[in-house]
Amino acid sequence: MKRILFVCTSNTCRSFLAEYIFRDMLEKADEEGKLNRKDYKVSSAGLFALDEDEPGALAVKVLEKVYGIEDSDKHRARLVDDDLVADSDLIITMTDAHQQALEEAYPEAADKTFPLKELAYGEDGLDGSLDIEDPYRGDDEDYERCAAEIEKALKLAADKIISK
């Protein structure tokens, strides 16, 4: 089983959105006979997460409204820890700074840790940026824009994510 971990700051928005959007993509690919969803374990965590913190209400709303994902409100944030890093085959961060912080705390994870935009667009990311902007304290449009940016990057990076 391939274990994929998405990481951001608090695990209530970006990594949470990436986890649920990617799970949805895997479900659809499974229905189309392209892969077996059971071959993948997808999760998320935050570098500074408060364990059991609820996801952002606007992030949940976007998943329901745009993607038809109805159970995301059950998600609870969790902190990145030694076991989670060791148990992950691929760690995908939402920013370059997240990658750097992970690699500093877990040097053994350097070969399996990448910003999402690097996987999608190459070493320079999109327009020179490897960061997915945090919509925290933003409005519905900010969260929808963030989810769309994550989805686009996930679609572009899907083959790399599955094969890494």
**What is the pLDDT confidence band of residue 6, given thresholds at 50, 70 and 90?**
very high
**Domain 2-163 in CATH: superfamily?**
Response regulator (3.40.50.2300)
* Cα–Cα dist 126/137, whole Å: 24
Q: Quick one: average pLDDT of 116-129?
A: 94
Band the pLDDT of 126: cuts 50, 70, 90. Answer: confident
Nearest-angstrom CA–CA distance, 98 and 46: 9
User: pLDDT (tens digit, 9 = 90+) per residue, 13-43?
Assistant: 999 999 999 999 999 999 999 999 999 999 9
Can you read off the two tokens belonging to residue 104?
């500093």
pLDDT score for 163:
85
- pLDDT value at residue 52: 95
Average pLDDT of span 147-154: 98
**Percentage of the chain with pLDDT > 90?**
97
Give percent above pLDDT 70 in the chain.
100
- Asked if residue 58 has pLDDT above 90, the reply is yes
The pTM score is: 0.97
Q: For residue 142, is pLDDT > 90?
A: yes
Closest CA to 6 of 117, 100, 92: 92
Return the pLDDT at 101. 98
Average pLDDT of span 35-63: 97
The residues assigned a catalytic role are: 8, 14, 134
Query: Where exactly are the structural domains of the chain?
Result: 2-163
Distance, in Å, from the CA atom of 127 to the CA atom of 122, rounded to the nearest integer, reads 11
Residue 21 is predicted with a pLDDT of: 99
Mean of the per-residue pLDDT values of the chain: 97
Amino acid present at 11: N
